[in-house]
Chains A and B, each alone.
Chain A
Amino acid sequence: MDILERASANTALEAFGTSAFPALSADGIDSTAIVDRWLVDRWSNAVIARRIDEFYNLDEQIVDGVDPAPKVPPVNIRATSTIIEIFEGVVDQVSGDEMYVTLRAKMNRAAADHAMSIELANVQPQDRELVGPGAVFYLTMYRDTTGKTVRNVEEVRFRRKPDWNARMIRKVDELAAALNFGPVEFNR
């Protein structure tokens, strides 16, 4: 931890007090000791920020004096894979341990849609509750090269939010109006 980081750590303590860091303040040690422990543990500003974030869970509140120097690190390409194809799939039916889906290729767009079944075991646990008729997902088939190991992999990931926008809703409203149905109620 350099001087700037230490200054930020001290500022954080001043702003929040030791109670913001229950794991560290449980022993009743003073703030200087806490900062020293940060030094020993070589904690970064990222850790300080995360601790504050976890403890307060503040979404909107702007916290002055806690920020590290606003030096934005560059974001590098992290990919290690060759894409074979990306499909957008729609769940038609769920039965037992499988879902029956229709896939549309996003890269080779001339390819015809095709139906298949996918075992639910291939769906990430965090996406299981999203699985149901009409749910949209992406199936990415790729060859991963990590180090000297090459393997073919399929990844399923579900879309978490509806994919409609204001223009689409306006079009549906217009269509409904034309059919004398009145405005259509969406969960917007």
Chain B
Amino acid sequence: MSYIPEIASASVVLVGSFAPRRYSAHWLLQNNLIGEVDFEQITTNENYVCTQHLSQMECTAFHLQVTSTRIQIICGAVLTPVVNDLAKSLLSLMGDAVVDSAGINFFSHFQIQSEDEYHRIGDVLAPKPIWQKLFPDPGWSAGLADLAVKISFAPRGETDATGNGFTVRVQPSAKIEKNGVMLTFNHHVNFPKESSQVEAALEFFDQAWDHGLGHSKVVFNDLLESTKSY
């Protein structure tokens, strides 16, 4: 059986040094990064802000937030590669900006069919006997609230100097009322200062989006499937 998410989304993140004031709706329109419909949606939204310390805007396709250290673009109602394109387009206009690291995140919310299966996922990933021993009150219970597993690109015990890797996260879903699980897949990379960080970031977004879209789907499905055999 294949698990199909009820809700799926994605975001891209750049960490570095940015001037939020630059990223106004006018600037995005002038540089053909958005269309006129997007511009209208952004500038008529009361949450639109473009100041020295924060630029924030949203239209149907995406939500963009820029601070002095971080750019985050998150999909609107629909998971779409448009956020990845926007990140690349912003990078292509940055010249020699400082971009220390970047990340792509895929989120999926799954409706689990039964309460037993829902609890089994948490029990397999975070076994409860140790917690029941620590908190033995029969009126209490332990539940998985947030589990993050980092996949480093180095054997156990060895340090990966790059700091790059995947992080898979398991949480109860805040979007699905009953027996919902949210899985997150993050691909993080750091860019060394001695090379062109913007060029490296462009390369990353070129390759990692498509790969992550497919890879996260497999990881999410296999993770949920694997809890059945315990």
Q: Do A and B come from one complex?
A: yes
Residues of A with Cβ closer than 8 Å to B? 44-47, 49-50, 53-54, 57-64, 66-68, 70, 72-73, 75, 77-83, 86, 88, 106-107, 109, 124-127, 138, 140, 142, 144-145, 153, 155, 157, 159-161, 163, 165-167
Q: Given known contacts A47-B46, A166-B202, is B22 in contact with A60 (CB within 8 Å)?
A: yes
Which residues of the other chain, B, contact A157 by a CB distance below 8 angstroms? 61, 80, 82
Q: By the criterion of a CB under 8 Å from any partner CB, how many residues of chain B are at the interface? A: 63
Given A44, A66, A77, which contacts B51 in the complex, CB threshold below 8 Å? A66
Q: Given known contacts A86-B80, A163-B85, is B199 in contact with A49 (CB within 8 Å)?
A: no
* Known A50-B43, A81-B8; 17 more pairs at CB < 8 Å: A57-B26, A58-B21, A63-B51, A68-B51, A78-B58, A82-B4, A82-B5, A86-B79, A106-B81, A125-B36, A144-B78, A157-B61, A157-B82, A159-B85, A163-B88, A163-B206, A167-B203
Given B8, B53, B85, which contacts A79 in the complex, CB threshold below 8 Å? B8
In the complex, the answer to whether B79 meets A140 with C-beta atoms within 8 Å is yes
Complex interface residues of chain B between 1 and 57 (CB less than 8 A to chain A): 4-9, 11, 19, 21-22, 24-27, 30, 32-38, 43, 46-54, 56
Which residues of the other chain, B, contact A125 by a CB distance below 8 angstroms? 36-37
A174 to B8, CA, bound (A): 41
In the complex, the answer to whether B35 meets A138 with C-beta atoms within 8 Å is no
In the complex, the answer to whether A165 meets B25 with C-beta atoms within 8 Å is no
A171 to B87, CA, bound (A): 23
Q: Give the shortest distance, in Å, between A140 (CB) and chain B (any CB).
A: 5
In the complex, the answer to whether A124 meets B82 with C-beta atoms within 8 Å is no
- B interface secondary structure, majority: mixed
Whether a CB of chain A sits under 8 angstroms from the CB of B67 is yes
Interface centre among A50, A54, A153 (most CB of B within 10 A): A50
A68 to B67, CA, bound (A): 13
In the complex, the answer to whether B89 meets A161 with C-beta atoms within 8 Å is yes
Q: Given known contacts A59-B26, A157-B61, is B51 in contact with A80 (CB within 8 Å)?
A: no
Chain B, residue nearest A188 (CB): B92
Interface centre among A49, A126, A140 (most CB of B within 10 A): A49
Q: Give the shortest distance, in Å, between A49 (CB) and chain B (any CB).
A: 5
The 6 closest A-B pairs by CB, nearest first: A126-B35, A79-B9, A70-B53, A126-B37, A67-B51, A165-B202
